[in-house]
Amino acid sequence: METNLIAEAGKFMALGMGIVFLFLVVMIFALKLQAKLIGKYFPEKKVSPNKPAVSASNNTAKMAAIVAAVQHHKNLKG
């Protein structure tokens, strides 16, 4: 009863890698299908151009905080 352990290991490796590959392919298709379903039933809300976006004022506040922090840091160094 002589078994070739290298050949058996190769078979198990090929089987395992094949199963992982098939799982990843199925997962990619499932995620693409999920993205299409979410896009269809839960579309993104459009912001009308007449109304200013809330995030614009939020971005202005963030920018002001960043500029103030950089100026404070420069004042501490010099």
**pTM, 2 dp:** 0.51
- The per-residue pLDDT for range 18-49, each reduced to its tens digit, is 999 999 999 999 999 999 999 999 988 886 66
CA angle 42, 43, 46 (to 5 degrees): 140
Predicted confidence (pLDDT) at residue 3 exceeds the cutoff of 80: no
